[in-house]
C-alpha cells in the first residue's frame, strides 16, 4: 500500500498504539488527523508528525459523543479534503467483579469501545462509498477471541472482552459488505503492548463504587507490563499493522504466539478464516 499523500484519521492518537501508528504512517508519507481527549499529548504528536514533513491536524474528540465524531469528520474534510484511512483506535476498560457492575458501568464502556467505532464508521463511510475506496482499521484485542485468558485475571476483564468480541463481529460484517465496494477492513488484535491504557481504566470494587487507579498503582502495573518478555511497543505494533495492511490481512495479530495458542487450545484457524473471507468476498 502506498501511503504517500494519503490522509489517515486516527482516534486515540495522543499516546500508545494510536500515536505509534500516526508517526509510522507519517514516516511513510501520510498526512494525519489526530483525535483524542488529551490535547497536550496530541500537540506533541502533531509536532512530531510535522517534523517529518507531513501535515497534521489536532481535533479534540470524545468518541462517546455523536457531535464530537461528526465534528472530527467535518474538520477532516475542511482541512485535509479527504479521508483515505480511518483507524478507530480509542478504547478503554472497566475492571472488577461482574456481579458488581452497574448498567452505567457497561454503558460507559460500550459507548467508547463499541459505539465509538460505529460513530467513526457512520461519519466517514459515506465518503468512502462515494469514492469507491478507503481503508477502515478497528483496534480490537486478543480478548476479542478468548474471554478466559489470562488465568486469574480474565474475571475482571469480562466487560472489555465483551466489547472486543462485538467489535470483531462488526468488523467481519463490514469486511464482507465493503470489500466488493473497494473498501478494505482490518482488525488490529494486540496482545500485551506497552501503553498507558491502565491510566483510563475504571475499576469497580467490592463496595460497588467506581474509582480510578492511583498514580503509584498505575506505575506499578506499567512496570510489571513493560518488563514482560511478551510485551510489544507501540512502534512495533505500528510496523506490524503496516505489514498486515500491505498483505491485505483482515485479522492482524501483534503476537505470533496468540495465533498458535488459539489454534492449539481452541481450534481457531485464522489462516483458513482469512482464505474463506477473501474467497467469499472478492474485490
Q: Residue 200 pLDDT more than 70?
A: no
pLDDT above 50 (res 206): no
Confidence of residue 201 (pLDDT cuts 50, 70, 90): low
Q: Is the Cα dihedral 99, 103, 109, 110 positive or negative?
A: positive
Among 191, 233, 232, 241, which Cα is nearest to 3's? 241
Question: Which residues, other chains included, contact 273 with Cβ-Cβ below 8 Å and sequence gap of 6+?
Answer: 250, 251
Active site residue 127: no
The pTM is what?
0.89
- On the question of pLDDT at 196 being above 70, the answer is no
Percent of the chain predicted with pLDDT > 70: 85
141-167 as b/e, with b when 16 or more CB fall inside 10 Å?
A: bbbbbbeebeeeeeebbbbbbbbbbbb
Q: What architecture is domain 7-280?
A: 3-Layer(aba) Sandwich (3.40)
Average model confidence (pLDDT) for the chain? Answer: 88
> Over the stretch 134-164, which tens digit does the pLDDT of each residue have?
999 999 999 999 888 766 667 778 999 999 9
Rounded mean pLDDT, 183-201? 75
Q: Compute φ and ψ for 248, nearest 5 degrees.
A: 60, 45
- Per this entry, what is the length of the chain? 283
**Residue 211 per-residue DSSP state:** E
Which is catalytic among the residues 127, 135, 160, 177?
160
| Alpha carbons 57 and 136: distance in angstroms, whole number | 19
Q: What is the pLDDT of residues 70-91, one digit of tens each?
A: 999 999 999 999 999 999 999 9
pLDDT at 218 over 60: no
**Taking CA 264 as the corner, what is the angle to CA 260 and CA 270, rounded to the nearest 5 degrees?**
55
pLDDT at 224 over 80: no
Chain segment 79-137, per-residue pLDDT in tens:
999 999 999 999 998 888 888 889 999 999 999 999 999 999 999 999 999 999 999 99
pLDDT in tens, 11-68: 999 999 999 999 999 999 999 999 999 999 999 999 999 999 999 999 999 999 999 9
Amino acid at each position: 500500500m502506498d501511503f504517500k499523500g494519503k490522509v489517515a484519521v486516527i482516534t486515540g492518537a495522543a499516546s500508545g498504539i494510536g500515536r505509534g501508528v500516526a508517526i509510522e504512517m507519517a514516516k511513510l508519507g501520510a498526512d494525519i488527523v489526530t483525535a483524542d481527549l488529551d490535547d497536550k499529548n496530541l500537540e506533541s504528536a502533531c509536532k512530531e508528525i510535522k517534523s517529518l514533513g507531513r501535515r497534521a491536524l489536532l481535533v479534540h474528540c470524545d468518541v462517546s459523543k455523536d457531535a464530537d465524531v461528526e465534528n472530527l469528520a467535518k474538520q477532516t474534510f475542511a482541512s485535509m479534503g479527504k479521508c483515505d484511512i480511518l483507524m478507530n483506535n480509542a478504547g478503554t476498560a472497566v475492571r472488577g467483579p461482574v456481579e458488581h457492575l452497574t448498567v452505567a458501568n457497561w454503558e460507559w464502556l460500550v459507548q467508547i469501545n463499541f459505539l465509538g467505532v460505529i460513530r467513526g464508521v457512520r461519519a466517514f463511510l459515506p465518503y468512502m462509498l462515494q469514492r469507491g475506496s478507503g481503508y477502515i482499521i478497528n483496534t480490537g484485542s486478543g480478548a476479542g477471541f478468548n474471554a478466559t485468558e489470562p488465568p486469574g485475571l480474565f474475571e475482571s476483564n469480562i466487560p472489555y472482552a465483551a466489547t472486543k468480541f462485538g467489535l470483531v463481529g462488526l468488523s467481519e460484517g463490514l469486511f464482507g459488505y465493503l470489500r466488493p465496494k473497494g473498501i478494505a477492513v482490518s482488525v488490529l488484535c494486540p496482545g500485551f503492548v506497552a501503553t498507558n491504557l491502565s491510566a483510563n481504566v475504571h475499576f469497580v470494587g467490592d463496595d460497588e463504587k467506581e474509582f480510578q487507579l492511583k498514580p503509584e498503582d498505575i506505575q506499578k502495573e506499567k512496570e510489571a507490563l513493560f518488563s514482560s518478555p511478551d510485551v510489544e511497543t507501540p512502534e512495533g505494533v505500528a510496523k506490524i499493522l503496516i505489514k498486515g495492511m500491505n498483505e491485505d490481512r483482515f485479522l492482524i495479530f501483534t503476537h505470533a504466539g496468540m495465533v498458535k495458542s488459539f489454534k492449539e487450545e481452541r481450534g481457531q484457524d485464522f489462516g483458513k478464516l482469512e482464505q474463506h473471507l477473501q474467497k467469499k468476498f472478492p474485490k
